Chain A
Amino acid sequence: MPVDRRKLIKGLAVAGAATAAAGVANAKIRPRKTVPTDAVGMLYDATRCIGCKTCVVACKQANDMPPDSASTGGLYDAPIDLNSKTKNIIKQYQDGEKQSYMKAQCMHCVDPSCVNACMMGSLAKRENGIVTWHGERCTGCRYCGIACPYGVPKYEFEKSFPRVIKCEMCSHRIAKGQIPACCEVCPRQAVIYGKYSGLVADAKKRLADFPDRYFPKVFGLEDGGGTQVLYLSKAGISFENLGLPDLGSDPVPELQQTIQHGIYQGFVAPVALFAVFGAVMWRNRRAQEKAGEVKP
C-alpha cells in the first residue's frame, strides 16, 4: 500500500489518545449521594434483641410469603439465610462467652449497588429512600445479586417466571400509614422505624449514654456510602462478627461508575471514535481507488 500507512497509524493513535484524554478529562469526580430529606429508616440494636424471631413471623405474614420447608429438609420456616421466601431473619453470633443476635435484611443503601446495576430501573430508590422492586421492568438478569455487597436480593429459581425478593421496608404498609411489620411487633423495640435523621440522633445518643454497652460505632452512617438501616452492636463484638462486611466509606458502585461515566461522559468519546473509524476507513478506501485497485 503506497499510502503512507505509518502516517495513518500515527494519526489514528493520536486520535485515539485524544479521545481517551477527553474521556478522562471529562470524568468529574462522581458527586456523593446523600440521604433524601424525607428519608425513613430502621435502627437495629443488638443489645436489645432477645432473638424471639417474632419479627421473622410478622414479616412473612405482612408480605404474604409462602412457608419455607423445602430448603430445610422439612423444618418449618427455619432457613439458614435470607431466601426467596424470607426477607428478614435473625442470625446468631457466638464465640465462647460472647454472643449476639443479628437481624439480616435489606440495608436500603444510600447509593445502592443493585439500583446502579439494574438495566431498566426495576430496582429503584423511592423518595423516602426505600429500595423497591418493580416487576414490569425486570428481565430476571440477576445482576443485582452480583452487585449487592450484603447478598440481599434473592431470586425465585424454582419458578418459570421468577421475581426478585427483598425487604422493601413494608412500603405497602407505610403507604397505609402503618410501620414495617418487624418494627411493629418487636417486644423489646430492638428494631425501630422512623425518620432517618431521628434514628441517627437516637443511635449516637445511645452510644454516648452507654459507652460500655456498645461497640463504639454506628454501622451505616458511612459504610459503603451509607445505609438507611443502621446497626448498633454489643461491646466487644464487631460488625464483621455479625456478618456485615467492612466496605470502607466509599460507595460500592463508585469505582465502576467513575470509570464508566469517565468513558461515556456526554457520549463524546464514542461519537469521536466512530468519526475517527469512519474517516480512516474512508481515507483508506479512497487511497486504494486512486492507486487503481479494485473498488472494495
Chain B
Amino acid sequence: MSAHDRHEAVAGPIWTPFFKVVALIVGITVVLMARRFTLGLGSSTALSDGYPWGLWIAFDVVTGTALGCGGYAMALLVYIFNRGKYHPMVRPALLTSALGYTTAAVAIHLDVGRPLYLYKIPVSPMWWNLNSALLEVAVCVMTYIVVLWLEISPAFFEKWERGPDGFFKKLANTFHPIIDKIMVPLMALGLLLPTMHQSSLGALMLLGGKKVHGLWHTPLLPGLYLLSCVGMGYAVVAFESILSSRTYKRPRETRMLASLAGVTGWVVLIFSGIRLVDIVLRGKAALIFQPTIQSLFFLVEMAAFVVGGLMLVMPAFRNTAAGQFQSAMLVIFAGTLYRIDTYLVAYNPGPNWHYFPSVPEMLITVGVIGLEILAYVVIVKTFPILRGATPAQAAS
C-alpha cells in the first residue's frame, strides 16, 4: 500500500437513486431473512434431505468466495511475481475480496441450521475434527476475513489520520504503524489461506463419491478449484475496474487490464486443458456425449471457459475495454457455473429428489449481494480505495 498510487475517495453523495433502490431491496429481504430464522430453513428454501445444500452454499459461499479472490490473485501477481505495475489495482481488489468473503460469512449464518453454534468453531479447537475438509474451510475463511480487513485497514487509517481528533484518529495513530510493520507476514498469510481453502472447497465434494457426476468428480478437484478461483479473481478485478471507472468517472486502466487479460487468459486456458485431459484420462469422455442435463451444463461451462480464455489472449479483444469486459463476464460466468455444477447439477442423491431454489431463497441471495454493493459504495465514497483521478483528466 503506497502513497504514490494516489488512492482517493470517490466524491459525491452516498444517497444516490441507485443506492436508495438497492437499500430498499435489501430492506425487503431482511424481512425474509427474519422469517427464515424464526420459521426454519424449510419455510424459506427448497432444501431437502436429498439436497441438503442449495443455492446459498453453491453460489453465495462457494462461488462468492471465488469471486472474492481478486485480492488473492492480484497480490500473487504483484508481490510474488513482482509485477509492480499492477500495484494500483491491489487495494480495490482487496476491498472486493474483503466484502466478498464477509458476504459469504453472512450467507453461512443464513444457511446453517444452528448459526448460534458457529462461534464454537473458533473457540473449541479441542473439538476440531482434523479429518474434516469443511472444518479446514471454516477456520481458514474465518481467519482470512480478519486478514483481509487488516490488509485493507491502511485505507481506513489514512482517512482517519487526517480527520478530526477523537477515537478513530487515536485508533489509526496506534495501529497504522503496527499494521505497516506486520504487512509482509500478513500478506503472506493472505496468500496462504486462499490457497488452502479454495482448494479445499473443491475437495469437499470428493466426499460426495458416486453421488457426484463423473465429469466433475475427480481427484484433481482441489487443484481445479484453485486454478479457476485465480482466473475468476482476475476477471472480477477487470470487471470491477471497468465498472467503477465508468460509474465514478475515473481514468480507465485499459492498458494495464490488457496485459492482465493475458495472464487471466492463460490461467483459464490451462484450467480448461487440464480439465479436459483429466476427463479423457479417467475414461469419462463418453459422458460428455450422453444426452443428459449434466452433459449440457458441462458443454456450456467449457465453452464459456474456452471462448473467454481465447478472447483474453487475443489482442483484438483484450486491448479494448469492451472486449475486456465481455471476456471477464464470460470467465466469471464459466467459473460460477463450474461451481454450481459441481455442487448442484452434478449432485445426484437418487430418484425422488429434486431441487430448484425457491423464490425467497433467491431473493435472500439478491439481498445479500445488495448488502455487499451498499457496503462497497459507502466505503469507496468514504475511504481512499480507488485510484485517484489524475490531474490530466479532471474529475467530474
Give A residues with C-beta under 8 Å from B: 1, 3, 5, 8-9, 12, 80-84, 113, 115-121, 136-143, 145-147, 149, 151, 153-162, 245, 247, 252-253, 255-257, 259-261, 263-264, 270, 273-274, 277-278, 280-282, 284-285, 287-288, 293-296
Contact = CB atoms under 8 A, between A and B. Distances in A.
Interface residues of B, number: 71
B41 A281 contact: no
Contacts of B133: 117, 256, 260
Given A3-B82, A155-B52, A118 B132 contact: yes
A46 to B, nearest CB: 20
A126 to B, nearest CB: 15
Interface string B24-55: 00000000000001111111010111101100
A277 B195 CA distance: 11
B243 interface: no
A252 B212 CA distance: 13
Contact of B184 (A80, A259, A273, A282): A282
Contacts of B196: 270
A245 B210 CA distance: 9
A-B pairs, top 3 by smallest CB distance, nearest first, are A140-B113, A157-B42, A145-B52
B366 interface: no
Interface of B: 1-4, 37-43, 45, 47-50, 52-53, 79-82, 84, 87, 111-118, 120-121, 124, 127-129, 131-136, 138, 184-185, 187-189, 191-192, 195-196, 199-200, 203-211, 219, 222, 347, 349-350, 352
B364 to A, nearest CB: 15
A154 B49 contact: yes
Contact of A252 (B49, B120, B207): B207
Contacts of B113: 139-142, 155-157, 159, 161-162
A257 B200 CA distance: 11
12 contacts: A1-B82, A117-B133, A120-B128, A121-B128, A140-B112, A151-B49, A153-B49, A157-B47, A160-B37, A162-B114, A255-B219, A281-B80
Given A138-B117, A141-B134, A160-B37, A277 B188 contact: yes
B288 to A, nearest CB: 22
Contacts, number: 197
Dominant secondary structure of chain B at its interface with chain A = helix
A282 B121 CA distance: 33
Contacts of B203: 256, 259-260
A256 B132 CA distance: 10
Most buried by A among B4, B135, B205: B135
Given A1-B82, A284-B79, A155 B49 contact: yes
A52 to B, nearest CB: 24
Given A113-B209, A120-B121, A141-B112, A257 B40 contact: no
A31 to B, nearest CB: 13
Contact of B188 (A80, A247, A252, A274): A274
A146 B208 CA distance: 6
Contacts of A147: 207-208
Contact of B129 (A81, A113, A121): A121
